[in-house]
Chains A and B, each alone.
Chain A
Amino acid sequence: MSHIVTIKTEVRDAEAVRAACKRLGLDEPVHGTVRLFSGEATGLLVNLPGWHYHAVADLATGQINFDNYEGQWGEQRHLDAFVQAYALEKAKIEARKRGHSVHEQPLPDGSIKLVIQVAGGVS
């Protein structure tokens, strides 16, 4: 082992957003503007299961804007699952771009581990 880095996921890649929606069986995300309680939000609109309003992925800031009225208008776990799926798909896209092979392993606590084999030296 050489180093360990912890990262807070930012949603900035439309291709990975689409892949995350596909992975979770959600509708294809579309670009648009919706009115949330906090005001208007523009970005990729993600239709989470059972949510009254879209979650809005703002690729410029990396943030997801949403209004689920503290869980009453949509369960937080669906948004969490989307962020997890996005991070996995984004990492896979980047690894494959470099020709690295990727293998997924689900873990008992609900985490998913991606093992990226780096072929040869540093690319």
Chain B
Amino acid sequence: MSKVIEITVGPKGETRVVTRGFAGAECRVASQYVEQALGKRTAEQMTAEFYQGQQQASQDLRQSN
């Protein structure tokens, strides 16, 4: 799956950043540069894909022990 950052700028200049195709915390790192450049965060919401990534990481950890 390709890794995409979608930025939607509303008619009044309010901005929404959505990441797609990243697993877990990688998405936060990937879009951080553009988020910081645009201004101040007013909200952040994690989606199912983020938590799947987190679960996968902890399962991998358990399996390797």
Contact = CB atoms under 8 A, between A and B. Distances in A.
Contacts of B34: 91, 94-95, 116
B46 interface: yes
Size band of the A side of the interface? 35 or more
Size band of the B side of the interface? 35 or more
Interface in A78-111: 80-84, 86-88, 90-91, 94-95, 98, 100, 107, 109-111
A76 to B, nearest CB: 9
Interface stretch (A7-15, A49-57, A67-75): A7-15
Given A91-B37, A115-B4, A118-B5, A6 B10 contact: no
Contacts, number: 155
A60 interface: no
Majority DSSP secondary structure for residues of A touching B: mixed
A109 B49 CA distance: 28
Interface string B32-58: 011101111111111111100100000
Given A91-B38, A118-B4, A5 B9 contact: no
Interface in A1-37: 1-10, 12-13
A91 B7 contact: yes
Contacts of B5: 95, 100, 115-116, 118
A13 B13 CA distance: 15
B28 to A, nearest CB: 6
Interface of A: 1-10, 12-13, 62, 80-84, 86-88, 90-91, 94-95, 98, 100, 107, 109-118, 121-122
Across chains A and B, which 6 residue pairs bring their CB atoms closest together, nearest first?
A: A83-B13, A2-B27, A10-B39, A110-B11, A118-B3, A116-B5
Interface of B: 2-24, 26-31, 33-35, 37-50, 53
